[in-house]
Amino acid sequence: MRGFRAVAAGVLWLSAVRPTLAQTLPQGPAEFAGGAVTVSGSVSVSFGSHDELAFFNYTDYEHNALRLVRIAVAGTWRIAPRLAVLTELRSEDGEQVVPYALYLRVRPFAHVPFDVQAGRIPPVFGAFARRSYRIDDNPLIGYPLAYQYLTSIRPDAIPGSADDLLLMRARGWRASYPVGSEDAQPGVPLVSAYRWDTGIEGNFASDRYDAAASVTTGTLSSPRTRDDNSRPQVAARIGWKPAFGLVIGASASHGEFLNGALEDRYRDVLGDHSYGQTAFGFDGEYSRDHWIVRTEWINSRWTLPRLGVPLIQQPLTATSAYVEGRYRVSPRWYVAARADTLTFSRVRGDRVFAGVPTTWDAPVKRLELGAGVYLQRNLTLRVSVQPNWRDGGRVRHRTFTSAQLAYWF
């Protein structure tokens, strides 16, 4: 209660100084060389409840998504009318600066809405991953489970049996297995929203339809900057706008999940087989008047080697779905909510769970409720409350409160 009072006091204070802020903060990107070079940036400061032991909001960069300071600088250099270089540099929690994006964009035809991008490129799969890099397009502070929550599987270490897998149930924040890397490391989400993959993609967009396809070095859950297994991922999405304000999309992807070092080390045991991640997704969005509603369904399947008894007989499947909505109470104020779920297929252990078929990771449910105020066009203050439930682990239920100040230009 005390925390919410502090947040409310902060909202009132920032509202009072809004005219001053509007006079001092840049309103848009900076331009150089006659507009050939543009530089933009964003800063977001999120503060909220600690996540010790539970790790519901842990990310693949080992940060708490609700307690995060992110600074980003993006640049575009238009070398020619249809040729440009784009980049974005990021730093989280004061750590090293990393190239989130760095790619070349070519538009071959002057009058055709088609472009080709090569390098560390934007994702084509799904809806949230393609807009998450825009700090103003997430009405809440947390991320959907499919794009943030860490499952217990890893590309550099694998379970020797179903028992090994079940022992790591609800341990995605620090999973360890007997085959591969011996270090305990975080697992992977269904789709990583915090990293972009490296490769080439093509995009087409018209008034009613859009389509994109890519070939990259990593997979949705484990993007890479370098190819280490010589088996690229292919991903695609098709979008349709049947009516004003309505968008429907479908996505698919397939790529090699296990990294090359693990496959080379255990080639005599694993054989020359493909152990990939395959995913399908559907997304929808509808906006009208003061409302915008979005939903997404993702099914991901990882194929792992069948090593020891009890065997992991089938590919490991995870399915996630969410629906979120935002309502503008006034031009400055809005309220938002997201309901989210993540479920897993079942495996049968021997020593663990006494041979009873059990989900290979613990199912998770999440609800996030929040509100935001635009202190100026490109400066927002958000607050949220986020209950989480999980069927396993040391902490099975926890509610987080958080606030975020976000600025972009």
pLDDT digits (tens, 9 = 90+) for 278-289: 999 999 999 999
- Per residue in 17-35, pLDDT (tens digit) is 455 555 566 778 999 999 9
Residue 2's pLDDT is what?
39
215: CB partners within 8 A, 6+ apart: 199, 200, 201, 232, 233, 234
Residue 274's pLDDT is what?
86
CA distance 308 to 21: 62
The mean pLDDT of the chain is 91
158: CB partners within 8 A, 6+ apart: 177, 179, 180, 258, 262, 304, 305, 307
Residue 92's pLDDT is what?
93
% of the chain residues with pLDDT over 90 = 81
Q: Give the count of domains, the chain.
A: 1
Local structure of residue 175 (DSSP, 8 states): B
Residue 270's pLDDT is what?
77
Of these ranges, 10-24, 66-80, 123-137, the one predicted with the greatest mean pLDDT is 66-80
Stretch 258-269: mean pLDDT: 84
25: CB partners within 8 A, 6+ apart: 376, 378, 379, 407, 409
- Per residue in 93-118, pLDDT (tens digit) is 988 898 999 999 999 999 999 999 99
Note down the domain range covering 322: 2-408
- Per residue in 216-237, pLDDT (tens digit) is 999 999 999 988 888 999 999 9
Residue 1 pLDDT greater than 60, yes or no: no
Residue 135's pLDDT is what?
78
CA distance 101 to 121: 6
Residue 7's pLDDT is what?
41
- Per residue in 128-166, pLDDT (tens digit) is 987 766 778 899 999 999 999 999 999 999 999 999 999
What angle (nearest 5°) sits at the alpha carbon of residue 78, between those of residues 203 and 192? 45
Pairing between β-strand 364-376 and β-strand 358-359 as defined by DSSP bridges: unpaired
Residue 265 pLDDT greater than 70, yes or no: yes
CA distance 195 to 73: 15
CATH number at residue 82: 2.40.160.10
Residue 16 pLDDT greater than 80, yes or no: no
DSSP H or E segment with residue 262: helix 260-265
CA distance 152 to 164: 11
Residue 342 pLDDT greater than 50, yes or no: yes
Residue 87 pLDDT greater than 60, yes or no: yes
